[in-house]
Amino acid sequence: MSLFKIVREPIQPISEPSAAAGGYVTFEGRVRDRNDGRDVVSVEYEAFDSMVEREGAAVIAEAIERFGLISAHAVHRAGLLRVGETAVWIEAAGVHRAEAFAACRAIIDAIKRRLPIWKKERYVDGDDEWVHCSDHALDITAKDYYARQAILPEIGQTGQQRLANASVLVVGAGGLGAPALLYLAGAGVGRIGICEPDRLEIENLHRQVIFRAEDVGRPKAQLAAAAVRALNPLIEVVPYQEAATPDNVAALIDSYDIVLDCTDSFVTKFLLNDACIDGGKPLIQASIYRYEGHVMTVRPGSEGGCLRCLWPVTPN
């Protein structure tokens, strides 16, 4: 049994504590039906599995050494959980009860503080909200995180604050969108939206560096959001597991300052061009063909023109 594991099915605790364990303590954290005065129907946990399991194993190993335990393990759920389901399970076995109790408490506190796991609560009234998303980042400050960037005279504290106040919608989390998302997050853009309808395929991995082989088959929008949050827990990330269409594009771009088009579809590129012109949103469009790259900035109201100015009819 690994020291720490992320699972997407109900947790089934299986433990055989050593005969030397005079103290054996287990803890279960469950989904409750009410939080901050609101009725909860379910929660959704997001996690970047490889990173969480690596850091979780470090938490358990540290507790074993610190408290002189015989053994300790933990399992955390990811995905959608209903009220009453177990979200996290921990066991600690020691020669005496005192160290087992203390270790169990220390482990859950460290999991909450250190692991990049995010929770969205869904409420009876149909609303939902990300909660406690910064618990693991209590020791990280914006001053420290952006220190090397903020010393650049072209940025400074004023520029860094402007980045924190900015929002960017990235449409497409593929070969262009994946690295763009990482650099936008690292730079400190305060809110990043990720619009991507596809699931991760094995042939994506060689160029879409934000993903991992173990995540094949899972929604790319959710995976990318987890990776971005893991890189920078100080920003807000909003995944949209859907394609941009004529029906939703205006709503998608409405709350963002800039739209970054990283798609490989003529239809989507012209759709975003038209929507951003109509909505007055700056649009940066990029594309790659083999070893060639192209980038264009569309500023509504300027004399620079737009995609449809060059090609009035959407190509097939």
All residues at 6 or more sequence positions from 15 whose CB lies less than 8 Å from its CB, including other chains: 26, 73, 91
pLDDT over threshold 60, residue 115: yes
Report domain extents, the chain. 4-136, 141-310
156-174: average pLDDT: 95
What pLDDT, on a 0 to 100 scale, did the predictor assign at position 17?
81
What pLDDT, on a 0 to 100 scale, did the predictor assign at position 49?
85
What pLDDT, on a 0 to 100 scale, did the predictor assign at position 108?
93
The CA–CA distances, whole Å, from 34 to 13, 39, 124, 240 equal 25, 5, 10, 26
The CA–CA distances, whole Å, from 146 to 114, 149, 158, 237 equal 20, 5, 12, 18
pLDDT over threshold 60, residue 136: no
What pLDDT, on a 0 to 100 scale, did the predictor assign at position 229?
85
Instruction: Work out whether strand 38-47 and strand 34-35 pair parallel, antiparallel, or are unpaired.
Output: antiparallel
Residue whose pair of structure tokens reads 């995976």 in the numeric block? 223
CATH of 4-136, one of 2.60.120.40, 3.90.1170.40, 2.115.10.20, 3.40.50.10800: 3.90.1170.40
Confidence band for 184, pLDDT divided at 50, 70 and 90: very high
d(CA 166, CA 258): 8
User: Considering just the CA atoms, what is the radius of gyration of the chain in Å?
Assistant: 23
pLDDT over threshold 60, residue 142: yes
d(CA 211, CA 214): 9
Per-residue pLDDT tens digits for 201-258: 999 999 999 998 878 888 899 889 888 988 888 888 989 999 999 999 999 999 999 9
Q: Which of 125-139, 187-201, 295-309 has the lowest mean pLDDT?
A: 125-139
pLDDT over threshold 80, residue 14: no
Amino acid at 293: G
What pLDDT, on a 0 to 100 scale, did the predictor assign at position 234?
87
d(CA 118, CA 45): 5
Q: What angle do CA 138, 140, 141 make, to 5 degrees?
A: 110
CATH of 141-310, one of 3.40.50.720, 1.20.120.80, 2.40.50.1020, 3.40.50.2300: 3.40.50.720
Residue whose pair of structure tokens reads 């996290």 in the numeric block? 88
**Does the predicted model carry a pTM greater than 0.75?**
no
